[in-house]
Chains A and B, each alone.
Chain A
Amino acid sequence: MIPAPFDYEVAESVEHAVELLGSREDAKVLAGGHSLIPLLRLRFTRPALLVDIGRIDELRYVRDAGDKLAIGGMTRHHNVQHDPLVQEHCPVLSYAAGLIGDPQVRHRGTIGGSLAHADPAADFPAVLTALEAEVVIRGPEGERTVPVGEFVTGVFDTVLRPQDVLTEIRVPKLGPTGWSYLKFTRRAQDWATVGVTAIVRRSNGTVDSAAIALTNMAPKPVRAKAAEQALTTPNDIEAAAEASLEGTDPPSDTQGSADYRRHLARVLVRRALGEAISS
């Protein structure tokens, strides 16, 4: 329950954070803390220095950026859930935010922190993958932008380098689409056993495009391309569901075996597509 000792510095700006992160070996960014503090407490991780970016208020925003929404990395789940811009232009993200953890977690956890932590069972990484969002990263060499699909590289692993700070997430506005996020859990507060995001654009009985991403079906979010391609009309849902397992490599744990997760993913893809198409 008591973390091992560490040093603590408050970053007053992103630049300051980058500088502080470079000041020590094994420094870590502290955002909302809802991924990091549980690990510290169980002493699963023992950084030498925490750089708290929680006081950089300019990282907490949702802005209209033309065809995209720009969401500050330190925006809390609760604010993502209730933000009118997110609700209007990206309702699936708002909806998914409301399913993360519990209200207390949503009051503190941040979208940037969740992405940077890259837990395969977390909701945001896969939802943002389906949304084809981009991640803005600030490091010692300046700013760079990485598609979410390339940002997460494995279990708890991302392209972030030791001095990098995730500053913003850019999410394309959805426009008229049908969407669904189905999160299967045993209890409301749990991480997803499997989650499915489906976003469908359709016209006159055909499906123009679909984006399907799976949560917790591999070490990183899975974009189910084969399933997307299989879906050209609403009648193809079953075929799309069957194709959705391509590229998956689900874990086996107390929430379900890999076999069960594969079965569940097919069922949920079918249901999510049904919901997205009829919504």
Chain B
Amino acid sequence: MATKQKQATAVEKKLIGLADIVVQSAERSKDPTFQIPIRALSNVSFNERKGLIEMGSKKQERSFFNVGMAKKFMQTVLVADALSELQRADLTTSLREIYYRTKHTIKDSHENTFDTQDESDPVIEDLEVSLAALREELHVRAENSGSIVGPVVFGDDGDRVDCSKLGKGGYSVPSIVEPEYLEIRRCTADFVLLVEKGTQWNRLSEDKFWRRYNCILLTGNGQPPRGVRRLARRLHEEHRLPVYVLVDNDPWGYYIYSVIKQGSINLAFESQRMAIPKAKFMGLSSADPEQYELPRNVGIKLNEKDIARAKELMNYQWFQKPAWQAEIKRMLTSGLKYELDALANKDFQYLTKKYLPKKLQERDWLD
């Protein structure tokens, strides 16, 4: 608990630092300005040695007395205030609650501090980046939208959670999984299987796949939220478990895999704590339909967006490995994408009984 206290004050100090900038600038008759690292493709680079996407050093200035930025500046200070309130009260909250907490009509006007949540969310991300504080450290959580099942025991608020005894529903992964909040008490699994879709995770959980192969099943229902990524990373780091990723065979699946592996562009500053450079791409590969004799009629024609996105991926630095170029090209050549669910065409339990066992046995994955 001591560490927690110390960290919280560190973040709070950083937040108070923003107020100091304002006060000091005002004293020197200077325009108060915050430096905010840019969160865009233009400001990230791929560190090949570490296998991570890293944020560059480009910063944007956000100054108060600039008509275009004045409102954002004011919003930033308001959010900082709300975040420090959380620190002091030692509460966690959601993005939406922060939006409501900071929303009010400015005195003598018809103007609201925030009109929609779309305005407050980026401000929070801006603060994460510029203060180099993780969202968890800011006490902001996302929705719980991940599930885990398998031979692992957590300590959550003093409760013992044994994920091998939670039926087929598993444990709902909290948004904040830092050691202060979630303790991994015991873990006997051999690997982690991170599944894109909740439906396929249910299939595997129902079939008790994790028991036969002694693994942890994890899903983030689509693009995995931070909690799921961070938990996978902790299992990988603290318990040396290899992580395998199972996604649909489409550009979005590839990107989910890349986010888990190298980190995302938007949250590049968190890659170091989130990314799992050694994660492996288990499937669905564009080679699988042939390998597993999936009929062509269960494929879906790639639409224009898919094609554009696939081409974009091919240009990303972290997709330059020949195997990956071949993988994406193969998909583009076939003109088809396949969902994991399509495996049910062969058998309801095809994924559990044939596909995954074969993949694991043949160590058939991409890096």
- Do A and B bind? no
